[in-house]
Amino acid sequence: MRVLGVDPGLEITGYGVVEERGRRIAVLEAGAIRTPVKSDIADRLKKIYRGIDGLIREFRPDVLALEKLYSHYKHPASVIMMGHARGVVCLLAGLHSLDLAHYPATKIKKAITGNGRATKDQMQQMVRHLLGLSSLPGPADVADALAIAMSHFYLKRKDSLFS
């Protein structure tokens, strides 16, 4: 199984394509799509669309995994901006007939670190360790996207144990 994990953001959209090989998970591709802050929102969304569409066409994932939308009452505008990018990614999943998996941030953190309240640094360190990477995946959005993709495998394994 191949999973495309995406951490959507209007400024930086992190992505990671991972594949299950036996009990191990291998990284096929990881990176970030960056959009200029001063660009028009339509141009920014078009760049995200083209980037994720290209990844889907090249790697043919079975599943597209995302973090569920979370809004902090102190930053309502940021969730709206993230929602634009997330909507583009969800649209692409539909256009390519991909299964779309959504996980709460706390569930992803718990699947990767064992702690649902893990810090960004703890997540990056664990992603590096679990994937056997020589350096920390960065920026943090890339590590988050890899964590989202990896947690899909871990949570599916857990579900299959109890079904």
Active-site residue list: 7, 67, 141
Helix axes of 41-59 and 76-95: crossing angle, nearest 10 degrees: 40
Q: Exposed e or buried b for every residue in 108-131, given b needs 16+ CB within 10 A?
A: bbbbbbeeeebeeeebbbbbbebb
Q: CB neighbours of 128 closer than 8 A, spacing ≥ 6?
A: 135, 136, 137, 143
